[in-house]
């Protein structure tokens, strides 16, 4: 296939690009490099530095078989400070990509968020991700754009961000562990998350691209979860507590029945094994 990956310089996107090229596909990457890194883009991919919300109809001349739309303003906490930017990236950007698909006949694999299972009004990020999903459904029903929606659950693994507002909790813990610092647990630490390795996410996205779907939703998680305290205990080091953050769900847990049944997909990576390997490497 000829594939377009938006957000293809980022944590998840760059792993997806690597896998697509490994599988023999031609890949084009669009990324504005807000959180992505140019040096993470595979040398065999064609790269354009562009925000998806700024694409014009001139891009409709470039044909793609599949568009993996991962570009987004991708964290809850920054969305409180930048609600307009979050809307522009997550909603306007998605409609631009859907328009591209409508004019070129591409199928869309959209990267949604598990946060939509909770209060959609809890933060601008969740609200905009849900609205983008609804646009995906709209374009499928009115314009017959083939769309599959993936909902990610707390992705971790190589290239995850370790610092700044977009850092993942496992990325933060890894950095703190390496630096000999206490691990910072937010709130009570009893909140539970379904931590999913990036390789499992990529294999799920690839499986979704192999068919044409009518806005079907597929959860990409493990079907198990751990508390933040349990996660910290896996590192076996000192911890400290910081205030809880607003807008975040108490628990996340993926129901992966449909992903198994219709995609033939199963997660393979185990969180404890990942951390054990990390600790062995650091020692």
Q: What pLDDT is stored for residue 283 in this prediction?
A: 66
**Residue 26: how many other CB atoms lie within 10 Å:** 15
Residue 237 has pLDDT above 80, yes or no: yes
* Average pLDDT, rounded, for the chain: 95
Residue 197 near residue 156, CB atoms below 8 Å: yes
Closest by CA position to 130, among listed 151, 156, 145, 155: 151
Condensed to tens digits (0 to 9), the pLDDT of residues 24-59 reads: 999 999 999 999 999 999 999 999 999 999 887 777
48 is catalytic: no
Q: Give CA–CA dist 267/51, Å, rounded.
A: 31
Task: Determine the average pLDDT of the residues in 148-167.
Answer: 94
User: What's 226's domain CATH number?
Assistant: 3.40.50.720
21 falls in which pLDDT band (50, 70, 90)?
A: very high
Residue 180, Cβ neighbours under 10 Å: how many?
A: 8
Total count of domains within the chain: 1
User: Residues 66-115: pLDDT tens digits?
Assistant: 999 999 998 899 999 999 999 999 999 999 999 999 999 999 999 999 99
Catalytic residue among 110, 117, 125, 139: 125
| Residue 222 domain boundaries | 2-282
């Amino acid at each position: 296939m000829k594939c377009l990956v938006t957000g293809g310089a980022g944590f998840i996107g760059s792993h997806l690009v690597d896998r697509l090229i490994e599988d023999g596909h031609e890949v084009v990457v669009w990324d504005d490099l807000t959180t992505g890194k140019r040096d993470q883009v595979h040398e065999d991919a064609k790269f354009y530095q562009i925000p998806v919300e700024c694409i014009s109809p001139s891009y409709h001349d470039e044909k793609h078989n599949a568009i993996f739309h991962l570009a987004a303003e991708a964290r809850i906490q920054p969305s409180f400070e930048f609600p307009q930017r979050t809307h522009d990236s997550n909603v306007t950007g998605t409609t631009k990509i859907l328009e591209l698909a409508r004019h070129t006949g591409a199928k869309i694999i959209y990267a949604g968020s598990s946060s939509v299972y909770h209060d959609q009004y809890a933060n601008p990020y969740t609200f905009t991700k849900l609205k983008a999903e609804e646009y995906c459904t709209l374009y499928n029903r009115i314009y017959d754009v083939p769309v599959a929606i993936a909902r990610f659950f707390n992705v971790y693994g190589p290239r995850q961000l370790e610092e700044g507002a977009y850092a993942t909790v496992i990325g933060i813990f890894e950095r703190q562990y390496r630096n000999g610092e206490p691990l910072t647990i937010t709130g009570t630490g009893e909140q539970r998350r379904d931590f999913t390795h990036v390789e499992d996410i990529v294999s799920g996205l690839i499986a979704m691209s192999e068919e044409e779907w009518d806005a079907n939703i597929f959860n990409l998680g493990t079907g198990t979860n751990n508390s933040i305290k349990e996660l910290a205990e896996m590192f076996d080091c000192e911890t400290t507590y910081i205030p809880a953050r607003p807008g975040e769900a108490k628990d996340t847990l993926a129901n992966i029945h449909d992903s198994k049944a219709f995609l033939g997909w199963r997660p393979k990576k185990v969180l404890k094994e990942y951390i054990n390997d990390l600790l062995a490497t650091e020692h």
